[in-house]
Amino acid sequence: MVPSVGDETTMVKRSPHRDSAPAKKPRPKRVVPDREVVRRLLGSGGDAMGQCMQCATCSAVCELTPDDAPFPRKEMLWAQWGLVDRLVSDVDIWLCHECHDCTVRCPRGARPGDVMAALRQACVSHYSFPQGLARAAAAPAGLVWIVLASAALLAAASIGWDATGVTVAELTGGGTRIAIPFWTRFPHGLLIALFLTVFAFDVAVLGLGMRRYWRALSATALSAPTRATPNAWGQSLRAALGRIVWHDDFASCQHEARRRFGHGLVVYGTVGLMVVDLWVVTARQNPLLSGLVYPLGLADPWKLLANLAGVALVMGCVMMGIERLRRRERWFPGGKWSGLEGVRRAPSGTYGDWLLLGLISTVVLTGFVTEGLHLFRVDELRYAAYAAHLVSVTTLFVVLPYSKLAHLAYRTLAFLFVERYGLRRRAAVRAETAPAASCAQPKLSPQEVP
């Protein structure tokens, strides 16, 4: 994985005297640029990557990059060349946390931070199936179809459920006519079954992608002679999870420092909601529960937690969104860049970035609206809000393995990989961390010794 320009990027020329060559030299690998990949990267945030002149400022200012294979300079080169094989077997794209320290400092305005994000998206698309769905999730036009498909899925499930007649039969067992309430069109059992199915699909897609990615990583990163004895799985997993739990990597970022907090709110908000969901989904089987399970009263500890988590989620999304929109003022204070140039220099996020924040916010906000309309008995709207909530949840689950949200799987995997093989350690080359390193002490000429 020597990331220099000249190693394998040399084109092979067919020599007319090949047969007479006395000894077989190892043939340099022929580089096959993938123009389609380049085109896609250009369209998903990497539009300025052609500006890169390989000065390596990005790698040197990055606080997360390891010393032995720094990013994102090499990735910029690979992206320009469309070296898809290298890009999709590169673990470093997931070690980047998109803090944009490199983008701010790039002397060409090539925005390596955005290119890395585009590469991550390309990596997710590359390893996921079906490819059609992956494409759809990567473009605004596709979102319309996914939303419509999600709504159709819900409608189909509801109609199918209706057609089985189970609810009606159960309820009308006494021969009494009963109007079927809205929520019996989407009884919890049905929703749980539906979402578990979609969730299982997500797990399958992500799992397969992770498996492919892990294999690609093992084939490339581990072929280096530096391969060490791998660390134990448990130890590696602990270390990887530790990085996630404490958001350690975010702490290094300079220009998006507050994102550590915003991202934390979103992550722990999601975890909180997942805990509540788990509780609710398993309620019927839970020996601790009996009788009335839902609706949960406002004072119920679970309801409190759910609301708290929802508020945290929205707050986190808003924080990250505001940070994103105010980049120009934060990165280039004093109106240094204005107008279109400023927008190009400090863009306010790609489609993929906003899809994630937008979907999460929509899910939580429609949830809150539904809750509020329920509490205040606004019967005309509450079912509409609930339907919107269900559709947005389904959409979120459908795009999960194809969107930026897939980073929860891929980044975790990358962490696990580097922790297991002891790769990508950040040695203390920085002056502030190694003031007494031997190379950092110049010899003093005799007359200078105090």
Partner 1 sequence: MSDQGPLTVPEGPRGRLLVVGGGIAGLSAAIEAAEAGFGVALVEREAYLGGRVAQMHQYFPKLCPPLCGLEINLRRLRSEGGPVSRDPRRVSAPWGASGSLAYLTLTEVQEITRVSGGRHRVRLRQRPRFVTARCTACGACTSVCPVERPHPFDLGLRSSKAIALPHAAAFPTLYAIDRDACEPSCTRCVSACPQQAIDLGMPERELELEVAAVIWATGWEPYGAKALTDLGFGAHPDVITNLMLERLAAPQGPTGGRITCPSDGRVPERVAFVQCAGSRDVDHLEYCSGVCCLASAKQARYLRAAHPGVDVSIYYIDRRAAGNQERFLATTAEDERLQFVPGKVARVDVSGRFPVLEFENVATGRLEAATADLVVLATGMVPSQSDTPAFRELGRDAWGFLTGLEARTNEPSAGQFVAGCARQPMDVSSSVRDATSAVARALAWGRTGRNAFDRRGAP
Partner 2 sequence: MTNGNYRRVVMVGLVVMGLPVLFSLVDYARGAEGEPFLAPAKPDTACILESAAMRYTHMTFLKDLRDRVVREENRSAEGDLDARGMNSCRGCHPDRAAFCDRCHDRASVRLDCFDCHKY
Residues that bind partner 2 (CB under 8 A): 170-171, 173-174, 176-181, 184, 245-248, 251, 260-261, 264, 268, 271-272, 275-276, 279, 288-292, 294-299, 301-305, 308-309, 312, 374-377
Which of residues 64 and 306 has its CB atom nearest to partner 1 in the complex? Answer: 64
Judged by CB under 8 A, does residue 2 bind partner 1?
yes
To partner 1, the closest distance from the beta carbon of 381 in angstroms equals: 51
Please give the angle made by the CA atoms of 189, 396 and 283, to the nearest 5 degrees.
25
Which of residues 16 and 174 has its CB atom nearest to partner 2 in the complex? Answer: 174
The stretch among 33-41, 83-91, 129-137, 429-437 that binds partner 1 (CB under 8 A) is 429-437
Judged by CB under 8 A, does residue 339 bind partner 1?
no
| Cis-peptide, bond into residue 295, ω within 30° of zero | yes
Per partner kind, with CB cut-offs from 5 to 8 A, the member of partner 1, partner 2, none near residue 180 is partner 2
To partner 1, the closest distance from the beta carbon of 341 in angstroms equals: 9
209's CB contacts (< 8 A; 6+ apart) are 124, 127, 128, 129, 401, 406, 409, 410
To partner 2, the closest distance from the beta carbon of 315 in angstroms equals: 13
Judged by CB under 8 A, does residue 112 bind partner 1?
no
Which of residues 168 and 428 has its CB atom nearest to partner 1 in the complex? Answer: 428
Judged by CB under 8 A, does residue 44 bind partner 1?
no
Judged by CB under 8 A, does residue 9 bind partner 1?
no
Per partner kind, with CB cut-offs from 5 to 8 A, the member of partner 1, partner 2, none near residue 394 is none
Per partner kind, with CB cut-offs from 5 to 8 A, the member of partner 2, partner 1, none near residue 246 is partner 2
Q: Which of 38, 40, 44, 59 binds partner 1 (CB under 8 A)?
A: 59
Which of residues 3 and 142 has its CB atom nearest to partner 1 in the complex? Answer: 3
Which of residues 109 and 358 has its CB atom nearest to partner 1 in the complex? Answer: 109
Instruction: Count residues binding partner 1 (CB under 8 A).
Output: 43
* 424/417 Cα distance (integer angstroms): 10
Per partner kind, with CB cut-offs from 5 to 8 A, the member of partner 2, partner 1, none near residue 375 is partner 2
Q: Which of 44, 65, 80, 350 binds partner 1 (CB under 8 A)?
A: 65
Judged by CB under 8 A, does residue 73 bind partner 1?
yes
Per partner kind, with CB cut-offs from 5 to 8 A, the member of partner 2, partner 1, none near residue 345 is partner 1
Neighbours of 61 (CB within 10 A): 17
Burial label for 421, CB within 10 Å (0-12, 13-18, 19+), is: buried
Q: Which of 67, 248, 277, 300 binds partner 1 (CB under 8 A)?
A: 67
Binding site for partner 1 (CB under 8 A): 1-5, 53-57, 59-61, 65-70, 73-74, 105-109, 336, 345, 429-432, 434-435, 439-445, 447-448
